């Protein structure tokens, strides 16, 4: 019944509003520190791999396409297609996390995890990091005080992407559960509410990334 | 009239759990408006293109406008996702109002916090 | 019963509690623990909240005992710090925030709007489980060394300078926050989608309006606290540096984010209480609430303005002088809707036909104490006087007047008022009136001297204080003892009344709300058939006509 | 029995002698704040009286006994407007009045004497310009505006003097200011009012207000031999600040003489007012504060200079009104690395830092 869809999707929207405020606190912090420590943020963002970041954005956008396709399949009662869409979304979510893991791992290797043997060497002495130095040869060495503020950038980077990744993990777990149920035909009998509401959640997580991507990766890429 | 409990209904996420009345079991509880896959494909295409654009633009030096353009494109992409993928374009006023209230309060959080940070340097504190 | 009461009970010799009701419908522990019924969940909440209130109250007693003498002799300063921190955390997050919405609100919301349950019963039950988990986590952290940051978790103290259970407690509050988000979310959806036919927005009882306003605050504010605590936990566990001044982070930012929730939180606590007062005052003066629309909209106005004022907790923390102007002004504005409410309630009495049952006494207590609490809030909203009065016992007295004098009085008022509906039995009237009086006296004796202490400059959270403050502290401790008795009495006689109270019948107060037109205790499905509402809220003439019809037909 | 009554008696006597209901008014701002306070008390009493009268009056007039049938009234727009507008007006008066006082308390006058206060768990350390240090007490002269520049070394603290009606939080990483002018001699309470950990309630002290003569006497008695500025001069030399800030044309750092109180243009295009907070920040986070026409080569001194050391440096820079002083410093320091003991006149080691270790380190960083 329409009423039922309405009620739960309204509840889902309210939940998403709480999520907006949840990430809102992070974005607010980011904004303040970015204004304070702009040079540090620029230099630190050059440490992120734009290739992996862009790839991840694309992965999420495609998964954001397969998800409403899944809803459409459920609407039009195509069970096989629904399962396929959900599986695709599931796999894309995993791909995203895999790429994210690779990025995190690189940060760990480079001592860019806050407090974890954090090193400002790449910023006080760009030549010590030949890879990034080649891409951004004009990056001047930061004075030590500014270089230290890159730790705040990475703190925010891990907090924001970490919270986002946590949402992805929760989403993927629910997806797994949904695939299981979809194969039993649970959503192709007219009950699309669950799929639809999960879609809303999944898109929200996507939107968060749409903002994280330019804010964290694209601060100032021109050399 | 009694509440029928779906076994899968309890999820750690608000709203994802739901209940059906026993007499609603075979009613088609579809959305108000079924969006055709063509729209989805178009939107996804635009989103991918915009991603490429925003990445490319960041390599061009526009001064402060780098941030402006990046955020503008992000907002544009987010709006597309919200309007089409999340069906807000076809949703009730209530949904729109809910979304708006969240964004409004986010604006309040930013604006009033900045009212402290931006005016600290006026005069001696 | 004498003529100056409104109570109309059925003939006790023949009256029976309805055989089938939400309590007797199913038996066994599991039928309670897995229930979707909002009334049962409300009952579970009532029990667990009373439990945590008792713990928080015992801790308050310890604080007052310690402050009997100027030296820290009953316990070490360290223990004292843990005691007041736990008192604050338990009372704020486990009692004040969920108290009225999760118990009375849960019980009444569907009844008042003519629905068979909340929109999302499963989420409602989940919310209770989250609450209990949070409660046990806090108890766990209390038993394994406690936490001594105060309930405000000020950084960098909480992140770098204490070695107590900050992370466990932070996570517990995070979980409790989810519980409160789910309750609020459920209420909003229910009020929007589940109203009975004919129940328009302006026929809603004011209790529903005020809970709606509080729910908005819960849904929009709580997540900011959640992320703030996440950042505190990350800072403490991994040192991400966002709040750490040594790494370039900003501890003031923590204050902004924390108070962004924690100021609206006080309205989450007080708004539902205001709703109770509207119901009670109207019922016992047999009159429609004076200026229904103004009271309804002032709730929403409070909810909206509540988000614009948080910096008034930070006036002396080195924030920009100019932004204090903005926040001070907005704080003054949020005081106005509260003033409107007080006057509207007072004028509801005008030309009424007033009786003085226990809920009404508590409501009068609420109005008096909340007025003092509200007016002293203006002292703190005005930046000039805030400099001197903030961080002293003046603040402590102010928020206890609002929270304990206001919200707790309203809670007790509501519990007494709806007790007959909830259990089907009356509480003993005389002793409960006495308890109301004791609470009122004890409360004033406890907290009024604290205003003077604050003006004298006695700082809050001090285990030891200069000897010239002792006299007032002794008064305060004496008052706390009386207050303790005042709170113990209801727990005892309400439990007693479960078995021995008089049978209440459907509508002992002759109130107009939908909840009073059904049997007490209600059926699991609330209404045998979905009611159609064709009368305004608080329409006592409608009630009279209806009763006459029933008698004539009968 | 007798024993108990004696104890009770003593207790009562102690109560009566120690009992107070109102704090002393010992600063210029105190009567102003109290005026507003009593205005608010008055308004509150009136408001409270009205509410109580309404409740009690209506309860008596319209109790069920006297008034068995209620008369239904919808409401009254006029009445509701009245009790919206009158409180609003009163609140606005309190807002304006309060803000005036607030700005007065937190805007120190230019001629105020500056005393630095460093808060740490769980003590207050005050540093007078003449180099006098005191712990958990503060001696000040009567009738002279005193500006406190507060900083915390660890957590938030709050410096509260109830008798003066002023209070300011000492926060880590940034100077905050408050000022007052004492009007009565005597000893007053000093409290830390922001909860700061285990011994929060022991972070108390005395504010001793002396007559100007007594204050001079006290200064003489408690001098440590070196003023803050002198101490700062030694640090300035030992940290090799004068290598760049020599004041000579063409030197690598801007000329610091007379810089205090001026407005300077920064390399990022903004302007800044040079006050204590600015100087501190410029020493610890120099790259945020590069002056126009200079390049960001100054190393940070974060972690190398203690808060006391920064205070001395700030005082020294404040005291510089011509380049002669700097040049003099320049001359003396050339000796310093070889023979730190006899380098300066005082014969004491600089308070904040060990020059032998730090000078080479910081020079090394300049080269980078």
Has residue C382 got a pLDDT over 80?
Answer: yes
> D180: helix, coil or strand?
strand
pLDDT band, very low/low/confident/very high, at C216 (cuts 50, 70, 90): very high
What per-residue confidence (pLDDT) applies to D330? 52
Domain boundaries, chain B: 92-125
CA distances from C530 to B67, C117, C204, C526, C544 (A): 56, 12, 16, 9, 22
- Stretch C137-148: mean pLDDT, rounded? 93
What per-residue confidence (pLDDT) applies to D58? 95
- Stretch A37-53: mean pLDDT, rounded? 91
Nearest one of D138, D206, D140 to C466, comparing CA atoms: D206
Has residue B2 got a pLDDT over 50?
Answer: no
First to last CA, chain D: 83
Has residue D235 got a pLDDT over 90?
Answer: no
Tell me if the domain spanning D23-60+78-224 has CATH number 2.60.40.420. Answer: yes
D10 in contact with A, Cβ within 8 Å:
no
Has residue D333 got a pLDDT over 70?
Answer: no
Please report residues of D whose CB lies closer than 8 A to that of A148.
300, 302
- Stretch C93-109: mean pLDDT, rounded? 94
Look at A96-105, C1-10, C462-471, D348-357 and tell me which has the smallest mean pLDDT.
D348-357
CB burial of residue A137 (10 Å; 0-12, 13-18, 19+): exposed
Alpha-carbon Rg for chain A, nearest whole angstrom, is: 20
Is A11–C123 a contact, with Cβ atoms under 8 angstroms apart?
Answer: yes
Kindly state the tokens that stand for C473: 């502290």
pLDDT band, very low/low/confident/very high, at B72 (cuts 50, 70, 90): very high
Q: Chain A closest CA to D79's CA: distance in Å?
A: 38
Instruction: Count CB atoms within 10 A of the CB of residue D348.
Output: 13
- Stretch C502-528: mean pLDDT, rounded? 92
Tell me the C-alpha distance between D260 and D239, whole Å. 20
Question: pLDDT tens digit string along A185-223?
Answer: 888 888 888 999 999 999 999 999 999 999 999 887 775
Has residue D346 got a pLDDT over 50?
Answer: no
Interface probe, candidates C232, C288, C361, C387, chain D, greatest D C-beta count within 10 A: C387
What per-residue confidence (pLDDT) applies to D341? 37
Is C288–D18 a contact, with Cβ atoms under 8 angstroms apart?
Answer: no
Is B115–C326 a contact, with Cβ atoms under 8 angstroms apart?
Answer: yes
Tell me if the domain spanning A2-217 has CATH number 1.20.120.80. Answer: yes
Is A32–C189 a contact, with Cβ atoms under 8 angstroms apart?
Answer: no
- Tell the CATH topology of D228-367: Cytochrome Bc1 Complex; Chain D, domain 2 (1.10.760)
CA distances from C257 to A112, A152, C266, C503, D193 (A): 26, 17, 15, 50, 21
What per-residue confidence (pLDDT) applies to C553? 52
Has residue D366 got a pLDDT over 80?
Answer: no
Q: Chain C closest CA to B12's CA: distance in Å?
A: 8
Average pLDDT, whole number, for chain D? 83
Question: pLDDT tens digit string along C288-332?
Answer: 999 999 999 999 999 999 999 999 999 999 899 899 999 999 999
When comparing pLDDT for D341 and D323, which is higher? D323
Tell me the C-alpha distance between C371 and C341, whole Å. 10
First to last CA, chain C: 24
pLDDT band, very low/low/confident/very high, at C374 (cuts 50, 70, 90): very high
What per-residue confidence (pLDDT) applies to B9? 37
Give every strand in the sheet of D146-152, ordered side by side: D133-135, D123-127, D113-120, D146-152, D176-180
Has residue A173 got a pLDDT over 90?
Answer: yes
Is A25–C248 a contact, with Cβ atoms under 8 angstroms apart?
Answer: no
Kindly state the tokens that stand for D100: 């005036």
- Stretch C403-412: mean pLDDT, rounded? 93
Is D75–C293 a contact, with Cβ atoms under 8 angstroms apart?
Answer: yes
Question: pLDDT tens digit string along C437-452?
Answer: 999 999 999 999 999 9
> C440: helix, coil or strand?
helix
Tell me the C-alpha distance between D214 and A98, whole Å. 73
- Stretch C218-245: mean pLDDT, rounded? 93
Average pLDDT, whole number, for chain C? 92
Helices (H), chain D: 2-18, 29-61, 77-105, 212-221, 228-238, 276-284, 307-319, 323-333, 355-367
Q: What percent of chain C has pLDDT over 70?
A: 99
What per-residue confidence (pLDDT) applies to C329? 94
pLDDT band, very low/low/confident/very high, at D289 (cuts 50, 70, 90): confident
Q: What is the largest CA-CA distance in chain C?
A: 80
Strands D137-141 vs D146-152: parallel, antiparallel or unpaired: unpaired
Look at C461-470, D132-141, D209-218, D279-288 and tell me which has the smallest mean pLDDT.
D279-288
CATH homologous superfamily of C29-553: Cytochrome c oxidase-like, subunit I domain (1.20.210.10)
Alpha-carbon Rg for chain D, nearest whole angstrom, is: 28
Domain boundaries, chain D: 23-60+78-224, 228-367
Nearest one of C160, C212, C156, C206 to C186, comparing CA atoms: C212
Could you tell me if the ipTM is greater than 0.95? no
Please report residues of B whose CB lies closer than 8 A to that of A203.
81-82, 85-86
Has residue D187 got a pLDDT over 90?
Answer: yes
Kindly state the tokens that stand for B29: 């509880």
> D113: helix, coil or strand?
strand
Is D75–C292 a contact, with Cβ atoms under 8 angstroms apart?
Answer: yes
A176 in contact with C, Cβ within 8 Å:
no
- Cis peptide leading into C156, omega within 30 of 0? yes
Nearest residue of D to residue B121 by CA position? D272
Question: pLDDT tens digit string along B17-69?
Answer: 333 333 333 344 445 567 888 999 999 999 999 999 999 988 888 888 888 99
pTM of the complete model: 0.91
What per-residue confidence (pLDDT) applies to D1? 55
Kindly state the tokens that stand for C282: 């109207």
Please report residues of C whose CB lies closer than 8 A to that of D121.
161
- Stretch C104-117: mean pLDDT, rounded? 94
């Amino acid at each position: 019944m329409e009423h039922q869809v309405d009620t739960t999707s309204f509840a889902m929207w309210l939940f998403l509003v709480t999520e907006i405020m949840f990430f809102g606190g992070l974005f607010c912090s980011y904004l303040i520190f970015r204004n304070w420590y702009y040079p540090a943020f620029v230099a630190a963002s050059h440490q992120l791999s734009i290739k992996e970041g862009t790839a991840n954005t694309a992965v999420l956008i495609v998964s954001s396409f397969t998800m409403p396709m899944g809803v459409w399949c459920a609407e039009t009662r195509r069970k096989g297609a629904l399962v396929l869409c959900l599986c695709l979304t599931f796999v894309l979510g995993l791909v995203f996390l895999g790429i994210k893991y690779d990025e995190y791992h690189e940060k760990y290797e480079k001592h860019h995890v806050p407090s974890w043997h954090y090193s400002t060497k790449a910023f006080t002495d760009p030549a010590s990091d030949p890879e990034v130095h080649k891409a951004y040869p004009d990056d001047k060495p930061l004075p030590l005080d500014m270089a230290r503020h890159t730790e705040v950038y990475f703190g925010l980077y891990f907090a924001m992407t970490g919270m986002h990744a946590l949402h992805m993990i929760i989403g993927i777990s629910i997806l797994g559960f949904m695939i299981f149920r979809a194969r039993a035909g649970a959503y192709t009998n007219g009950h699309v509410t669950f799929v639809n509401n999960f879609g809303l959640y999944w898109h929200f997580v996507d939107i968060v990334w749409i903002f994280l991507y330019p804010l964290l990766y694209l601060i100032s890429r021109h050399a | 009239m009694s509440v029928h409990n779906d076994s899968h209904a309890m999820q750690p996420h608000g709203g994802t759990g739901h209940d059906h009345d026993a007499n609603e079991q075979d009613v088609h509880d579809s959305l108000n408006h079924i969006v055709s896959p063509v729209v989805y494909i178009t939107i996804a295409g635009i989103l991918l293109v915009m991603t490429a654009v925003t990445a490319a633009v960041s390599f061009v030096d526009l001064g402060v406008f780098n941030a402006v353009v990046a955020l503008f494109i992000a907002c544009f992409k987010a709006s597309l996702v919200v309007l089409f993928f999340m069906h807000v374009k076809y949703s009730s006023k209530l949904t729109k109002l809910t979304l708006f209230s969240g964004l409004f309060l986010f604006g309040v959080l930013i604006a009033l916090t900045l009212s402290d940070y931006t005016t600290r340097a006026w005069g001696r504190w | 019963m004498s003529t100056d009461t409104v109570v109309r009970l059925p003939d006790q010799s023949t009256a029976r509690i309805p055989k089938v009701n939400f309590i007797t419908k199913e038996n066994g522990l599991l039928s309670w623990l897995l229930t979707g019924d909002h009334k049962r969940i409300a009952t579970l909440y009532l029990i667990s909240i009373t439990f945590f209130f008792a713990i928080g109250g015992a801790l308050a007693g310890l604080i007052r005992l310690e402050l009997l003498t100027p030296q820290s002799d009953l316990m070490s300063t360290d223990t004292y710090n843990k005691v007041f921190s736990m008192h604050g955390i338990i009372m704020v997050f486990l009692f004040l925030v969920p108290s009225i919405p999760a118990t009375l609100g849960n019980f009444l919301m569907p009844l008042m709007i003519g629905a068979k349950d909340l929109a999302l019963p499963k989420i409602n039950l989940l919310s209770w489980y989250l609450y209990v988990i949070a409660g046990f986590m806090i108890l766990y952290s209390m038993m394994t060394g406690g936490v001594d940051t105060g309930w405000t978790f000020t950084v960098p103290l909480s992140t770098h300078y204490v070695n107590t259970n900050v992370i466990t407690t932070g996570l517990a509050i995070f979980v409790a926050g989810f519980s409160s988000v789910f309750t609020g979310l459920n209420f909003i959806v229910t009020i929007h989608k589940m109203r009975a036919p004919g129940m328009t927005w302006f026929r809603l009882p004011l209790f529903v309006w005020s809970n709606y306003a509080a729910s908005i605050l819960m849904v929009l504010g709580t997540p900011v606290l959640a992320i703030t605590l996440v950042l505190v936990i990350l800072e403490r566990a991994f040192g991400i540096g966002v709040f750490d001044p040594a790494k370039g982070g900003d501890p003031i930012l923590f204050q902004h984010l924390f108070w962004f929730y924690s100021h609206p939180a006080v309205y989450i606590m007080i708004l539902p209480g205001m709703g109770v007062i509207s119901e009670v005052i109207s019922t016992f003066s047999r009159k429609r609430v004076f200026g229904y629309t103004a009271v309804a909209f002032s709730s929403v106005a409070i909810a909206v303005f509540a988000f614009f004022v948080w910096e008034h907790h930070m006036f002396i923390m080195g924030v920009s002088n100019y932004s204090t102007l903005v926040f001070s002004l907005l704080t003054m504005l949020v005081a106005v809707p509260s003033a409107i409410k007080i006057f509207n309630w007072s004028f509801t009495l005008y030309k009424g036909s007033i009786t003085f049952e226990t809920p009404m006494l508590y409501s009068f207590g609420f109005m008096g104490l909340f007025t003092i609490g509200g007016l002293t809030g203006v002292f703190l909203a005005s930046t000039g006087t805030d400099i001197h009065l903030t961080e002293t016992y003046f603040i402590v007295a102010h928020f206890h007047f609002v929270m304990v004098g206001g919200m707790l009085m309203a809670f007790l008022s509501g519990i007494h008022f709806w007790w007959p509906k909830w259990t089907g039995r009356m509480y003993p009237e005389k002793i409960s009136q006495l308890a109301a009086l004791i609470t009122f006296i004890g409360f004033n004796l406890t907290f009024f001297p604290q205003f003077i202490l604050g003006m004298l400059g006695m700082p809050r959270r001090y285990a030891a204080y200069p000897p010239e403050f002792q006299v007032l502290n002794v008064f305060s401790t004496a008052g706390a003892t009386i207050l303790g008795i005042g709170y113990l009495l209801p727990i005892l006689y309400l439990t007693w009344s479960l078995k021995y109270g008089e049978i209440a019948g459907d509508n002992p107060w002759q109130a107009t709300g939908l909840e009073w037109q059904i049997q007490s205790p209600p059926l699991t499905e609330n209404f045998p058939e979905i009611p159609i509402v064709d009368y305004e809220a608080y329409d006592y003439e409608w009630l009279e006509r209806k009763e006459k019809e029933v008698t004539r037909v009968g | 029995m007798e024993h108990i009554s004696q104890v009770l008696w003593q207790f009562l006597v102690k109560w009566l002698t120690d009992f107070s209901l109102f704090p002393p008014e010992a600063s210029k701002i105190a009567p102003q704040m109290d005026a507003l306070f009593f205005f608010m008390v008055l308004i509150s009493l009136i408001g409270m009286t009205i509410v109580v009268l309404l409740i009690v009056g209506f309860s008596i007039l319209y109790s069920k006994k006297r008034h068995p049938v209620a008369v239904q009234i919808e409401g009254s727009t006029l009445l509701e407007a009245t009790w919206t507008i009158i409180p609003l007006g009163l609140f606005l008066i309190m807002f304006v009045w309060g803000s005036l006082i607030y700005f007065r308390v937190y805007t120190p006058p230019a001629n105020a004497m500056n005393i630095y206060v460093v808060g740490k768990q769980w003590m207050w350390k005050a540093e007078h310009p003449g180099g006098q240090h005191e712990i958990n007490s503060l001696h000040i002269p009567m009738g002279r505006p005193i500006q406190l520049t507060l900083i915390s070394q660890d957590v938030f603290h709050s410096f509260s003097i109830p008798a003066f009606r002023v209070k300011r939080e000492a926060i880590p990483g940034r100077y905050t200011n408050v000022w007052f002018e004492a009007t009565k001699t005597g000893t007053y309470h000093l409290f830390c009012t922001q909860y700061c950990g285990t011994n929060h309630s022991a972070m108390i002290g005395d504010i001793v207000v002396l007559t100007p003569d007594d204050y001079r006497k006290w200064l003489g008695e408690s001098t440590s031999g070196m003023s803050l500025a002198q101490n700062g001069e030694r640090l300035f030399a030992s940290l090799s600040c004068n290598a760049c800030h020599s004041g000579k044309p063409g030197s690598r750092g801007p000329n610091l003489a007379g810089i205090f109180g001026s407005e300077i243009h920064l390399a990022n295009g903004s302007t800044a007012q040079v006050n204590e907070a600015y100087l501190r920040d410029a020493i610890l986070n120099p790259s945020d504060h590069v002056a126009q026409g200079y390049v960001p080569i100054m190393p940070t001194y974060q972690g190398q200079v203690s808060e006391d050391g920064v205070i001395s440096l700030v005082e020294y820079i404040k005291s510089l009104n011509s380049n002669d002083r700097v040049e003099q410093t320049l001359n003396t320091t050339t000796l310093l690395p070889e023979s730190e003991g006899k380098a300066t006149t005082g014969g004491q080691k600089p308070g904040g830092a060990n020059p032998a270790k730090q000078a080479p380190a910081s020079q090394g960083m300049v080269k980078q």
